[in-house]
Structure 1
Amino acid sequence: MQSNENNEKYRIDKWLFAARFFKTRALAAEAIDRGRVAINDQKIKPAKTVAVGDRVEIRINNYQYTIEVLGLSNKRGSAPQAQQLYRETEESREQRALLAARLKAQPQPFFTKGRPTKRDRREIERFTLNTDEF
C-alpha cells in the first residue's frame, strides 16, 4: 500500500477498487458514470482525482456510504489494508443499519423454479384436497 506522504493524488476509480468498494475497476468506473459516486457533494467522472480529507459518497444497491479519505493507494491490497484508506461516518453507519433492519423485516418474495415437479404437484393436490374439506 502506498501512503500520501507527498500530496499524491489518484484517480477515484482506482482508489475505489483499491479500497475494495468494487470488485473491478470497470465496475467502479461504471458506478461513477451512472452518478452513484460523488466527491464533496459533486458528481464526478472516473478520472477525477481523490485527495486525503475528501468526503466521498458511494451508493451501492440500496446502501449509501459516506466516507472520509484517510489514505491513498492505487493498488488493491488485503481487506485490513483497504480499511485503513477510509473512515465511514457514524451517521452513514446508522442509516445503513436502519435500512438493513427495514429490509430484513420485509417479507421475501417467493420465486419458483418453473413448472412444479411430480412431487410438488402431489403436495399441492394434497393441500388443496385438505382445504376443500373445511
Structure 2
Amino acid sequence: MRIDKYLWCTRYFKTRNQATEACKKGHIRINEQVAKPSREVFPADRLTIRKNQIHYQLKVLAIPDSRVAAKIVGLYRIDTTPADALKHQEAQKLAKEYYRKKGTGRPTKKDRRTIDDYLDEGE
C-alpha cells in the first residue's frame, strides 16, 4: 500500500491530499529515509511523521484494506512516540491559551492596566 494511503487509512491525516503534501514536503520518513507519496509500506517498517511540530514514531503491524475505524487503528500500528514529544504538545496548548483570542480586538483600558500590573510585578 502507498504511504499516503496508509496514513489516511490509519487516520493520521483527514484526507489523502494532506498525506500526499506531507510526503512531498519531507515530513514522512520510512526506515529513516524520506518517502515519496507513492512509496510502498510493508509490515515491520518504522515510520517517522512530523505533524504539528511533533515527530510521531510508528511501527507498521499490518496493512488495512481501507480506512479503518478509530477504535481499531491499534491493530495496524504501534505508536512508539517518546513521552517527551507528547509533553511538548501539551506545553504548546497551554502557551496558546495565554495569548488573547483572535478576533477580540485591541485591549481595552482595563486589559491594558492588567497587563501593565503583570509586567510591573516581574521587575
TM-score, structure 2 length as denominator?
0.77
Paired residue secondary structure (2:29): strand
Cα offset for 1:112?
5.0
Q: Which residue of 1 is the match for residue 24 of structure 2? A: 33
Structure-2 change in CA distance of 1:73 and 1:113 (3 Å): same
Task: Please list, as runs of the form range in 1=range in 2, the aligned pairs for 1:89-104 lying within 5 A after superposition.
Answer: 89=80, 92-104=81-93
Structure 2's unaligned 5+ residue stretches are 114-123
Residue 19, structure 1, aligned to residue 14, structure 2: no
Cα offset for 1:105?
4.8
Percent identity, aligned pairs only, is 29
For the pair shown, the structure with the greater C-alpha radius of gyration is 1
Q: RMSD of the alignment, in Å?
A: 2.5
Structure-2 change in CA distance of 1:111 and 1:104 (3 Å): closer
Structure-2 change in CA distance of 1:12 and 1:112 (3 Å): closer
* Residue pair 1:15, 1:74 contacting (<8 A) in 2 also: no
User: Matches of 1:50 and 1:97 in 2, distance apart?
Assistant: 25
Task: Please list, as runs of the form range in 1=range in 2, the aligned pairs for 1:78-89 lying within 5 A after superposition.
Answer: 78-89=69-80
Cα offset for 1:110?
1.8
Paired residue secondary structure (1:57): strand
Task: Please list, as runs of the form range in 1=range in 2, the aligned pairs for 1:42-61 lying within 5 A after superposition.
Answer: 42-61=33-52
Cα offset for 1:114?
6.2
Cα offset for 1:100?
2.6
Structure number with higher relative contact order (C-alpha < 8 Å, ≥ 6 residues apart): 1
Q: Which residue of 2 is the match for residue 77 of structure 1? A: 68
Cα offset for 1:79?
0.5
TM-score, structure 1 length as denominator?
0.72
Structure 1 runs (4+) greater than 6 angstroms displaced: none
